[in-house]
Structure 1
Amino acid sequence: MKKIKILAVIGSLRKGSLNRQLALEAKAIIGDRADFEILEYSDVPFMNEDIEFPAPEPVRRVREAVKAADGIWFFTPEYNHFFSGVLKNLIDWLSRPESRGKTHVLDGKPATISGVSLGMSGTTVAQDHLVTLISFLNMDVMNVPRVAIPYAMNYTDSQGKLALSDESYSFLKSQADSFIDFVKKHVQE
């Protein structure tokens, strides 16, 4: 059986973002059990139907990365009780068909969500909004377990490096193990 491929989509473009750091923790936990790649998409333009067909090269590139992935793992911050605008813009592009009459690349893809934030909700509100959107787009969402880490400043050093508590690490490991199994079942179908 081929090794599954997980594509991490981070809802922050900041290179040192806490959610990027959380994704790297997940990658380390997964190790060699799956290929784990972080999607880079800072060059994706604002969604605009005037440039939809043919799609700009950055959009074609991210669509190909999503098509090649067996599962999508979203790592979302929470901005004003919602996920970020850059993540919404990316999903808007991915939810559009590559050409008229075709389906979009997210259709049927297994997905899970994690997040870390400075506030008390730990991204649970943003995650719930994201679940609503990706469920509407017919992604196969693994809702349990999910990781939402609040008060991130309690888990960072003076340089902003994330250091998970034993409890948070345990939750992230449980989610990683479950998502690998979830994606494998989907691939076998």
Structure 2
Amino acid sequence: MSQYKIIGIVGSFKKSSLNLKLAQTIKEYLKDKAEFEILDYTKVPFFNEDIENPTPEAVTNVRNKIKEADAIWFFTPEYNHYFPGILKNLLDWLSRPISKDIPQVLKDKPICVSGITPGMTGTVVAQDHLISVLNFLNAKVMMTSRLTFPNALKSMDDIGNIIKGLEFIHAQADDFIKFIELNK
């Protein structure tokens, strides 16, 4: 099995984001199995067709990283039963064709979706909405081995490391590597 390049997209810019912690936990677990980069998309502007051409540099940089990756892993919080606006904005940019000859960068890309929350629903509703958009964009979303991680604070130590439920996190990571292999 070759080592894959996976881009992690965290749906929160909060420095102490639980979903960032989850992404970092998975990055550490996969360190011998995949190159895992957490995408910085903080400079991507609000989508606006008036600034689409020429494409803003931050958008071009993000598109190139997505295009070069073997797979994408989304980590979404749930705000008001939906995924965050920053993720929707990013998806709006990524959904646009790069040129007449090059389609949008998510088409046929293997995708995994996870989420962690201090609440009781485990981001399941937000994930369903996000998966719906990703399916519309013709991404290849892994639908089995979903990770909806509720009551997160009960699963963390005093410094914010995830210490309970790691077997579920590791199982999803292992399943995603297999999914990438099947869909590359």
After superposition, residues 28-107 of structure 1 pair within 5 angstroms as: 28-100=28-100, 102-107=102-107
After superposition, residues 140-151 of structure 1 pair within 5 angstroms as: 140-151=140-151
TM-score (norm 1): 0.93
Per-residue CA shift, 1:115-161, capped at 9, x if unaligned? 101211010000000110000000001011011111122233455x1
AA aligned opposite 1:49: E
RMSD of equivalent CA atoms? 1.3
* Alignment correspondent of 1:180: 177
AA aligned opposite 1:174: A
Question: Which stretches of structure 1, 4 residues or longer, exceed 4 Å deviation after superposition?
Answer: none
Counterpart CA distance in 1 for 2:24 and 2:166 is: 12
Aligned with 2:111: secondary structure? strand
TM-score (norm 2): 0.95
* Alignment correspondent of 2:163: 164
Counterpart CA distance in 2 for 1:163 and 1:19 is: 11
For structure 1, which runs of at least 5 residues remain unmatched after alignment? Answer: none
CA contact (8 A) 1:66 1:105 kept: yes
Structure 1 vs Structure 2: percent identity of aligned residues? 49
CA contact (8 A) 2:25 2:162 kept: no
* Alignment correspondent of 2:116: 116
Counterpart CA distance in 2 for 1:9 and 1:69 is: 12
Aligned with 2:91: secondary structure? helix
Shift of 1:19: 0.3
Counterpart CA distance in 2 for 1:116 and 1:186 is: 26
Aligned with 2:30: secondary structure? helix
AA aligned opposite 2:105: V
Counterpart CA distance in 2 for 1:28 and 1:126 is: 25
AA aligned opposite 2:87: L
CA contact (8 A) 2:157 2:163 kept: no
AA aligned opposite 2:68: A
